[in-house]
Amino acid sequence: MTDPRVLVALGSNLGDPLRTVEAALLQLERRLGGAAWRASSLWQSRPLDCPPDSPDFVNAVIACAVPDTPEWATPRGLLAMLQALERNFGRPATRVRNAPRPLDLDLLLFADVRCNEADCVLPHPRALGRRFVLEPAAEVAPDLIWPGTGQSVCSLCEALRAEPGQTDIQRIAASNRASN
């Protein structure tokens, strides 16, 4: 795949997180099938800033072109679709920040759009400090320049790995999902 313009992070730590993330990837593939896209491997990570005794997460990232479907071709439109998918997987509409969840879908980047509003913040404000986001993102979009940094996702990931106190993560399953 060339020139990914959109990054979406997936995470789950309730129920069967591995199956949930795999099922969510399948749903995203069906919905974004018209756009070239690629999914990372699945990664397991310890919860970050979550309540004590929260279960581990399964994480992944997809990189894709801007969706062809008109209602998803804007950041807010795509975000609305992602939030509807979260609800389909049992996530309540009212959210408690960092609480365990059956499915979490975060819009990390949407082309070069920058937005800082209550319902849409792009690029994702905490992504660059999270290995469970950058490791899978580096698999699917290593050369993508993160807006506002001038650095590639791969170089940002390498720098984060070197920081002390970073949460350990491990690859638990390779991905075979890609189109175009």
- Tell me what the mean pLDDT of segment 69-83 comes to: 91
Catalytic entry in 5, 104, 130, 131:
104
The pTM is what? 0.92
* 66-71 average pLDDT score: 85
Annotated catalytic, 101?
Answer: yes
pLDDT at 19 over 70: yes
* Superfamily grouping for domain 6-173: 7,8-Dihydro-6-hydroxymethylpterin-pyrophosphokinase HPPK (3.30.70.560)
**Cα–Cα distance measured from residue 143 to residue 120, given in angstroms and rounded to the nearest whole number:** 25
Q: Is 91 a catalytic residue?
A: yes
Least confident of 52-61, 108-117, 170-179: 170-179
pLDDT (average), residues 118-131: 90
pLDDT class for 117, splitting at 50, 70, 90? confident
Alpha-carbon distance 41 to 167, whole Å? 18
Which token pair is 61? 């990232």
Q: Which of 38, 91, 130, 131 is catalytic?
A: 91
Distances from the Cα of 80 to the Cαs of 77, 100, 154, in angstroms?
A: 5, 21, 28
Q: Considering 38, 106, 130, 131, which one is annotated as catalytic? A: 106
3 is catalytic: no
Mean pLDDT of 154-166: 90
